[in-house]
Structure formats: structure tokens, C-alpha cells
Amino acid sequence: MTRKLLWSAALAIGTVATLLAPQVSNPPAVKPPVIDVYSVNGELWSTPSDGSVVFWKDSALVKPILRQTGSRITHAAIVLDGFVIEAVPPRVHKVRFADYVKDMKETRTPGFKWFVTQPKVPYTRTQIAAMTKYAQSQIGRPYRLRGWRKGREVRGIFCSELVADILEQSGRIKSAGVHESPGSLYEKLEPLYQ
């Protein structure tokens, strides 16, 4: 079944269930999260939860990164408030997740894969606020891979360093700073993300 057909079936089942459910006079105490659903080239997508991490695998940089880290994971970005925040040349920027998905679909090269991991336990509002505040302070910061290659802090920042530093604001992980490769970040998050 296609995603579109599955989505239509799910909507129909939900509508029937709503009509058949007994009417409750008191609304539920907790509202379900609003999920932004949209279609890209016929596929349905929804914006991942805050703190979700986007990873690239086998991108054009796979050979040099594999040589240095032993990992085929080549890039990391983070999702906050419906935006993907990432460090790429020339500087840290943010883009709506829907636009990011469209761009990934249009620029896909043979062998390239990308995927999103989401936290097993959602972040609290306080954690999200701390991560968002730090992420906003990094927008416009120059991209520099030099810190990773030299193993010391430099003026700029690279992808996995940025994501780890943002996630560190939640108190759930400790960033390895300039030593945090996309592969090491993926391994660090594996027990905490799905």
C-alpha cells in the first residue's frame, strides 16, 4: 500500500471512531500534539518532534570521513520548532523541515541516504527552550571543519559539533565538542533515540 492510501485509510478509521465514540462533556486534560502533515512528490511527511536529529549517510564526503572516523555517517542536523538547524558552508542556518525534505528529494545522488531519529522520551518544554535559545545564538556562525581536523576550538563550527552542543543544553548528553563526528554522535544517541 502506498503512504497516501494508508493515510486515507487511517483518516477514515479515525473519523468513524470519532463518530462512534461516546460524547464526553469534559475535554481531555492534555491535547495531542499538532502534527504538520504535507506531501512531497506524493509521499506524506510530518514534522519530527523537537530535538529530532537528521543524519546523512554515504554523501559525497563519505570517503574522507570514513577514512578519519570509520563511519559512513557524514552529516548531522537538528529539528527544533519545525526548522532544521545545521552547520554547512558558509554558516549555520535554519530552514523549514518541509523545505528541507523537498531539497533532499531534489538533490539526492546515487547511494546517498538520509534519515531522522527521534527521542524515545520527548524533551520537556524547559529543555526545548534551552536548546532553542542556544541554537538561535549560533545562527550565522561560520562553518569551519578546521576545529575537527585540528582537535581544538576555532571561530567556526561544524555539523555534529553544533548538534551535540545544542543537545547538551537539555542535560541529556555531554558534547565531545570538536571531537564529535557525525558517527560518534549517532552512536551516542542510539540508546536515547529511535
Within a domain: 194: no
Q: Within a domain: residue 181?
A: yes
pLDDT tens track for 18-45: 333 444 444 444 444 444 554 555 666 6
Residue 100 domain flag: yes
Beta strands in 17-139 (DSSP E): 37-40, 43-46, 53-57, 73-80, 83-88, 91-96, 113-117
Distance CA 117, CA 150 (A): 29
43: number of Cβ within 10 Å? 13
Sign, CA dihedral 94-146-176-160, equals positive
Grid cell digits, residue 107: 538533490
Contact 85, 135 (CB under 8 A): yes
- Whether residues 83 and 171 fall in one domain: yes
Asked if 175 and 99 touch (Cβ cutoff 8 Å), the reply is: no
Q: How many domains does the chain have?
A: 2
Residues 16 and 107 in one domain: no
Give the domain range for residue 152. Answer: 48-189
What would the grid cell of residue 8 be?
486515507
CATH number where 73 lies:
3.90.1720.10
Residues 15 and 108 in one domain: no
Q: How confident is the model at residue 191 (pLDDT cuts 50, 70, 90)?
A: very high
Q: Are residues 19 and 103 in the same domain?
A: no
DSSP assigned state of 142: B
CA 167 from centre of chain: 11
Q: What is the pLDDT of residues 46-61, one digit of tens each?
A: 889 999 999 998 887 7
Query: Residue 193 and residue 122: Cα distance in Å, rounded?
Result: 10
User: At residue 74, does pLDDT exceed 60?
Assistant: yes
Q: Is the pTM of this model over 0.85?
A: no
Cell of 192: 536515547
- Whether 67 and 149 share a structural domain: yes
pLDDT (tens digit per residue) in 3-20? 343 333 333 333 333 333
Q: Residues 18, 93: one domain?
A: no
Name the β-bridge partners of 115: 55
Q: Can you spell out the DSSP letters for 148-173? A: HHHTS--SSB-HHHHHHHHHHTTTS-
Within-domain flag for 11: yes
Same-domain pairing of 95 and 150: yes
What does R_g of the chain's alpha carbons equal in angstroms?
19
